[in-house]
Structure 1
Amino acid sequence: MKYADIIVDISHEDLDRTYQYLIPEELKERALLGVQVLVPFGKGNRQIKGYIIGLSDLPKWKEEAIKPITAIAEDTLMIESQLISLAGWMKDNFGSTMNEALKTVLPVKKTVKQKENRVIKAALSGEELQAVLEGEKKKNNKGRVRLLEELLKNPSLDYEWVKNTLNISLSTMKDLEKLGIIHREASVLYRNPVKQPSTVAKSVVLSPSQQEIADDFLKEYHEGIRKTYLLHGVTGSGKTEVYIKIIEEMIKEGKQVIVLIPEISLTYQTVMRFYQKFGDRVSIMNSKLSQGEKYDQYVRAKNGDIDIMIGPRSALFTPFQDLGLIIMDEEHEGSYKSENPPKYHARETAIERARLCGASVILGSATPSLESYKKALEGEYTLYRLSEREGERKMPVIWTVDLREELKARNKSIFSRKLQTLMEERLKRKEQIMLFINRRGYAGFVSCRSCGLVLKCPHCDISLTSHNNGKLVCHYCGYEEEFPDKCPSCGSKYIASFGTGTQKVEEMAKKEFPHARILRMDMDTTKKKGGHEEILSAFANGQADILVGTQMIVKGHDFPRVTLVGILAADLSLYAADFRASERTFQLLTQASGRAGRAELSGEVVIQTYQPEHHSIVYAGKGDYEEFYKREMLYRKLMSYPPASHIMAVLVVSKEEEKGSKASELLTKALKQWEEKEELMEYHVIGPAPARLSKANDIFRFCFYIKEDDYQRLMAAKDFLDGFYRFSDEFQGIAVQFDFDPMNSY
């Protein structure tokens, strides 16, 4: 490479402005992405520092006008260099522009007013101040007298109190300052989004199996071994206690730690466990923080004022100088995948960031993603297991209820007879109940309430989605058929799009159990800041008997008096138009079941379903992850879906429907021609077809998928398609996005 694109100031406003410099021959080997350099800048050629964010063989203007880089900066291992290198890796591996990647890893530096701690202090001794006071009294300067009298009582006063309560004007303060009687001081006051806890953490004694895991990890860390570990622990097995013990040791060694938690699980209850242990050396990052709070956490981390950052995937880019460990709890969660370019997954990105700075990674889950478990079984990750709950606590008893039998028994309530009986028992015993409505991934699938059949695409084994025009459509390949009048399997008339909501469940619960106190937790009831905490705290404090909610109620919460969990529609996520539907259903059912019986009281779970024989429901009922994994992997291998293979979604968006359709077809044809010209092995292409959301905000969306065993070959296809569309006139007004191993179908 002959030329380098360099940014000279890392702030949000300047990320779109790069300058091209010539790379001198002697610096070519060291001029890598992310490296800090010294360059001549402006007419006076003053030497300033910048970062290489792009490399090229082509000059952007006259070669004689391009200045050479002066030197590679010696302190090039600064945190910004690491993050820029990470941005470059994300651009290559997930498909985006360098600017999109940079804006993901670097803070949004918006103009945020700094909070300051301002004080007024006496600049004279007490005797000198008393003499000045007597003189001001004779002159009848009332304002000065009030201020000097207070300074004699207290030589340091809060500025706001002086201004507002004592009613002293700014001009009075300035005059006294010029005379050398007082001086004003200001220090930056960083916003801390974590409220001070009222209790101190109890010291936790680890069980032998927990201690063994902590000891093994720390032994390898001290030996200089840096790798990725998967902690597979059943719900309630004490994964957090293991994390805390390891973090404690890391901090003793002067290392910093990032703890990633899905946004939905980032609750007051979770954060407090860390805060009670580590105090104000902990901070959090999440979407509910103000811009000021977010930027202050970035600065505090960079200054070394905190050791632990807890947050969702964006916390991964915390600018710690001595990062030693990244923990990714609930690593199976789909929210770890970004929906905006670069469509990175936090798991792979965390492993790359750890590699860049010599840190280790711990992934934790009761229901690991198939991707992680496969790598653990193959030895790429080290597998740790916690197969029992802490103490003497037992796993809950799980009942699976066949809703087809309930229909035959003329029970048309959303509560099965078994669930109704158990709810009545709990309410009498003053124990708590959680009702979980499984709406995740619900996409208008069509099922028969009589026999349980779900209509699927004959080509993709993905459920068909109901559209308003009376058609059933596959959102992978475009196959469609008419909506049937009756079930093609049993002839029943009870065939329809399926769906129910939290409000309906709340109303039915009030009707069936009029004396029960009920709380509902969903997107509507948690819109305001602190909404999650308010509802969860009320439930934890015993202010309600029943909590109704979507998946947000089943994520990592610990309620000692919950002894019954009702899962009302296990099928809803099972038939989302997505190859991961079975995996997500198993994870949700297992996580929901894990909320029951987490303290001394034993728990029970009722899973209501039209498909009790489906493998995800059978193995969730047994709590058997290994058998579920084996069965699901057979399906993935058969259909060439991740993690048995890889898949890349290519999304084409256009304001004109015909143009968008033509562009998606042009891309698939170009890929075919490229294969033939380069004599490459053929790619397996599905589509193109209109996306599931085929039109949004008057923008038309088309997509196609490429299946491929070799990830490098998929990256090569991405690079070819990206170059083809960027340098072809046919794609004016067209945008193309790439998504590797997508978490949701398009």
Structure 2
Amino acid sequence: MIYADIIVDISHENLDKTYQYAVPKHLEEKAVVGSLVRFPFGKANRIIKGYIISLSQTPSIDVSYIKEIDEVVDNALVMESHLIRLASWIRDNYGATLNDALKIVLPVKQTVKMVEKRTIRLLLGLDEANAKLIELQRKNYKARIRLLELLLERNVVDYDTAINKYGITRPTIQTFVEHNIIEVEATKVYRNPIKNQQQVEQAMVLTHKQQAIADDFCNEYDEGIRKTYLLHGITGSGKTEVYMEMIEHVLEQGKQVILLIPEIALTYQTVMRFYKRFGDRISIMNSRLSKGERFDQYMRAKQGDIDIMIGPRSALFTPFEKLGLIIIDEEHEGSYKSEMPPKYHAREVAIYRASLLGASVVLGSATPSLEAYKRAKDGEYKLYELNERISGAKLPCVYVVDLREELKKKNKSIFSEKLKELITDRLNNKEQIMLFLNRRGFAGFVSCRSCGHVMKCPHCDVSLTYHYGRDKNKLVCHYCGYEEEMPSKCPSCGSPYIATFGTGTQKVEEMVKKEFPTARVLRMDMDTTTGKEGHEKILSAFANREADILVGTQMIVKGHDFGNVSLVGILAADLSLYANDYRAAEKTFQLLTQAAGRAGRSKDNGEVVIQTYNPEHYSVTTAANNDYEAFYNREIAFRTMMKYPPVSNILVAFLTSKNDEAVAKAADLFKAAVLDYKIQLKSQMDTAEDIVETEDLEIIGPVKANVAKVNDIYRYVLYMKHMDYIYLKNLKNFMEGFIDYSTIFKGCNVQFDFNPMNSY
């Protein structure tokens, strides 16, 4: 007998409440995860609807209490069914619980205050109303007279306007309702988060290459071909215009589109470009929206009020019934990988969701991830390439400055001589400058020059970062938010020689103002963009030329198009190059190329200065030459040699606990269980080839995580490498069962991560 766990109502508070029912033999083939079913509910056996979220052969309660499903509803692939299937796939492929996966994908109902628009409508005919007006005038009911005169003039009046503008009280309105003179109609209003709506514009004329790519996609779409496409276009080559052509074609087929962008910072600028083309059939989804606004966008999408949803990773689960295309712009971005369980990658989930609904997927980037480019090279994705900037604009001239040579010249400033010279020139020419440093705050860390003591967070195994403020100087932990005053003496030895080391964006901003006192400076990082429209205000101000220099972290270098920016300075290319991460060279190449791409987008005098202590490194030299192919060939050779993704696969087991000894013991036990799994599997193999497959499993650790403690939680990590993703997925399933089996994991939290985007 097969048993189905069913949820009756899809809401956050009800996802944990499932009811188990037996599946009759004649319904077993039709009863799949996501199916809409009818079943008897409660003591009265009232027939209601629900969704199957899991199936098993083991009853969870006494079988005498389990009722049978009445019916599987035919042809009921409603949006909830589709998304439940998607959640089940995410849970199976990435770990975590089904409940966690459901909460990610479902357009859940939440307790949010609905916005209503109320109107007052006159129910009386003209003669009756005039007679009533004479009666009220005779009795001198001033407020009622005002309301009735207003209704005789307009017939329908906005409720809030009647109260706020004409001074009519709620009791007056209620009296009219009770006497059947008027009725008050309330309609739900779904909030539209897009502001500054502009006139719809006609499509731009595409270049020959852009048009060829768009035509090829559209022809294949018309032929019913659904693929994953990779659009590799250099910065400024007009990828967005190609997206628009693709979107317009898909919309003409009566389909809907999801456009993913990597950062909230991109939302405003991107949405305005699309709004000018497609009008109010667009909405956005991001974490800056209120809970009510997010729910409203889900409802607008579900009801078919919009056709295009734009947003970061979470927008992938927009409940479109007729989804025809998913576009992932800047597909290389790490933010497309979830950092919370289940740790899914939006690219893989998008491709699976598209396969369920018969949709196409387009990935776009100037610096594609190695995973996407390798698949395109292998023929798994179809590759399109745009190698020239639109309007004949040239790529910027790139200077690589060796900071070791600057030091020899006694230049201890964060600005090289070349960068100073070019900043001065641009300020004189009234052109704009972007300065990029991938570290926020005032300084990297604070240390005593006498004894070497470093100021560290008491709750995390990291140094505190110095932040300079108007009211006080403070040390801040970027992991848990802990703050303390900047000490005047070393707390360890009492020496007054305690000072900051390293440089952050806040310190760069101060130095820019000191070096170039007439320049108007804006700073954009996590500290300056905390408000709901923090990103939008800073970007709009810079776009409107209210500042000469924009200083910021990586959020300023991704996808923005500022026509007056003719100089980009990358102050310390090495910050990302020597991170403890096998993707360090790739991330450095991407950041440098994307940053350089902000210069000279509408001018021919774009220049870029890359400051580095390692100018010979291939990620720096290839970025300076804008040579992705050369970088890819060097990096893929390294990954092949080291058996790193995308050549091989990595499974990470991340264990945390408040008890250091307990989590260390659990991690050791986990490794022993993996070794036992490997031995058991080997004994079951029939062929030498299968035995070699089990031998290919490489186990690293367990070891303490790079940051061994965060917020008083101890962290350990175990790495497993294998060429075959399915092998690691099965290993993950085994480990999940082992966690449930062993009592030693009580008090420990275990998370799984496939092919992590960041090191642990």
Tell me if TM exceeds 0.5.
Answer: yes
Q: Distance in 2 between matches of 1:466 and 1:603?
A: 42
Q: Distance in 2 between matches of 1:424 and 1:196?
A: 35
Match of 1:535 in 2: 538
Match of 1:309 in 2: 309
Pair 1:720-2:734 in alignment: yes
Match of 2:29 in 1: 29
Tell me, yes or no, if the aligned pair for 2:197 and 2:275 is still in contact at 8 Å: yes
Q: Distance in 2 between matches of 1:133 and 1:516?
A: 68
- TM alignment of 1:396-407, pairs within 5 A: 396-407=396-407
Match of 1:557 in 2: 560
Q: Distance in 1 between matches of 2:136 and 2:748?
A: 75
Letter in 2 for 1:400: V
Q: Distance in 2 between matches of 1:643 and 1:194?
A: 38
Match of 2:585 in 1: 582
Pair 1:672-2:686 in alignment: no
Q: Choose 675-684 or 94-103, whichever is displaced more.
A: 675-684
Pair 1:419-2:419 in alignment: yes
Pair 1:737-2:751 in alignment: yes
Tell me, yes or no, if the aligned pair for 1:442 and 1:572 is still in contact at 8 Å: no
Tell me, yes or no, if the aligned pair for 2:116 and 2:188 is still in contact at 8 Å: yes
Match of 1:459 in 2: none
Q: Distance in 2 between matches of 1:638 and 1:521?
A: 39
Q: Distance in 2 between matches of 1:675 and 1:444?
A: 44
Letter in 2 for 1:430: K
Match of 2:476 in 1: none
Q: 1:61 to 1:386 in 2, by over 3 A?
A: same
Q: 1:331 to 1:253 in 2, by over 3 A?
A: same
Match of 2:707 in 1: 693
| Cα deviation code 1:211-241 (max 9, x no counterpart) | 1111111111111111100000000000000
Q: Distance in 1 between matches of 2:748 and 2:443?
A: 27
Tell me, yes or no, if the aligned pair for 2:440 and 2:505 is still in contact at 8 Å: no
Letter in 2 for 1:663: A
Q: Distance in 2 between matches of 1:336 and 1:608?
A: 29
Tell me, yes or no, if the aligned pair for 1:5 and 1:18 is still in contact at 8 Å: yes
Kindly state the Cα deviation for residue 497 of structure 1 after the two structures are TM-superposed: 11
Count of residue correspondences? 701
Q: Choose 173-182 or 70-79, whichever is displaced more.
A: 173-182
SS at match of 2:576: coil
RMSD of aligned Cα (Å):
2.0
Query: 2:613 aligned to 607, 610, 615, which one?
Result: 610
- TM alignment of 1:388-403, pairs within 5 A: 388-403=388-403
Match of 1:43 in 2: 43
Tell me, yes or no, if the aligned pair for 1:442 and 1:575 is still in contact at 8 Å: no
Kindly state the Cα deviation for residue 692 of structure 1 after the two structures are TM-superposed: 1.8
SS at match of 2:229: strand
Kindly state the Cα deviation for residue 697 of structure 1 after the two structures are TM-superposed: 2.3
Kindly state the Cα deviation for residue 85 of structure 1 after the two structures are TM-superposed: 0.3
Q: 1:393 to 1:432 in 2, by over 3 A?
A: same
| Cα deviation code 1:40-65 (max 9, x no counterpart) | 11111121111111111111111122
Match of 2:687 in 1: none
- TM alignment of 1:217-228, pairs within 5 A: 217-228=217-228
Tell me, yes or no, if the aligned pair for 1:201 and 1:273 is still in contact at 8 Å: no
SS at match of 1:49: strand
Match of 2:487 in 1: none
Match of 1:182 in 2: 182
Q: Distance in 2 between matches of 1:504 and 1:442?
A: 4
Match of 1:455 in 2: none
Tell me, yes or no, if the aligned pair for 1:258 and 1:309 is still in contact at 8 Å: yes
- TM alignment of 1:635-654, pairs within 5 A: 635-654=638-657
Match of 1:333 in 2: 333
Pair 1:500-2:514 in alignment: no
Q: 1:134 to 1:702 in 2, by over 3 A?
A: same
Tell me, yes or no, if the aligned pair for 1:443 and 1:576 is still in contact at 8 Å: no
Identity of paired residues, percent? Answer: 61
Match of 1:136 in 2: 136
Kindly state the Cα deviation for residue 467 of structure 1 after the two structures are TM-superposed: 6.7
| Cα deviation code 1:385-411 (max 9, x no counterpart) | 001000110011111010011111111
- TM alignment of 1:415-564, pairs within 5 A: 415-439=415-439, 499-564=502-567
SS at match of 1:565: strand
Q: TM-score by structure 1 length?
A: 0.91
Pair 1:625-2:628 in alignment: yes
Tell me, yes or no, if the aligned pair for 2:442 and 2:503 is still in contact at 8 Å: no
Pair 1:358-2:358 in alignment: yes
Q: Choose 82-91 or 201-210, whichever is displaced more.
A: 201-210
Kindly state the Cα deviation for residue 498 of structure 1 after the two structures are TM-superposed: 7.4
Q: Distance in 1 between matches of 2:282 and 2:739?
A: 46
Pair 1:707-2:726 in alignment: no
Q: Choose 221-230 or 593-602, whichever is displaced more.
A: 593-602
Tell me, yes or no, if the aligned pair for 2:124 and 2:182 is still in contact at 8 Å: yes
Kindly state the Cα deviation for residue 443 of structure 1 after the two structures are TM-superposed: 13
Structure 2 residues without counterparts, runs of 5 or longer:
446-459, 465-498, 683-690
Tell me, yes or no, if the aligned pair for 1:444 and 1:466 is still in contact at 8 Å: no
Tell me, yes or no, if the aligned pair for 1:441 and 1:573 is still in contact at 8 Å: no
Q: Distance in 2 between matches of 1:498 and 1:39?
A: 67
Tell me, yes or no, if the aligned pair for 2:401 and 2:610 is still in contact at 8 Å: yes
SS at match of 1:391: helix
Match of 1:56 in 2: 56
Q: Distance in 1 between matches of 2:95 and 2:698?
A: 19
Q: Distance in 1 between matches of 2:300 and 2:294?
A: 10
- TM alignment of 1:56-455, pairs within 5 A: 56-439=56-439
Match of 1:485 in 2: none
Letter in 2 for 1:622: N
Q: Choose 252-261 or 123-132, whichever is displaced more.
A: 123-132
Tell me, yes or no, if the aligned pair for 1:440 and 1:551 is still in contact at 8 Å: no
Q: 1:444 to 1:429 in 2, by over 3 A?
A: closer
Q: TM-score by structure 2 length?
A: 0.90
Q: Distance in 2 between matches of 1:467 and 1:136?
A: 76
Letter in 1 for 2:175: D
SS at match of 1:304: coil
SS at match of 1:519: strand
SS at match of 1:573: helix
Q: Distance in 1 between matches of 2:388 and 2:41?
A: 62
Q: Distance in 2 between matches of 1:412 and 1:314?
A: 44
Q: Choose 600-609 or 617-626, whichever is displaced more.
A: 600-609
Tell me, yes or no, if the aligned pair for 1:693 and 1:701 is still in contact at 8 Å: yes
Q: Distance in 1 between matches of 2:438 and 2:617?
A: 16
| Cα deviation code 1:413-455 (max 9, x no counterpart) | 101111111111111111111111133999989xxxxxxxxxx
Kindly state the Cα deviation for residue 152 of structure 1 after the two structures are TM-superposed: 2.1
Kindly state the Cα deviation for residue 127 of structure 1 after the two structures are TM-superposed: 3.2
Letter in 2 for 1:281: R
Q: Distance in 2 between matches of 1:573 and 1:186?
A: 55
Structure 1 residues without counterparts, runs of 5 or longer:
446-464, 470-495
Q: Distance in 2 between matches of 1:117 and 1:511?
A: 53
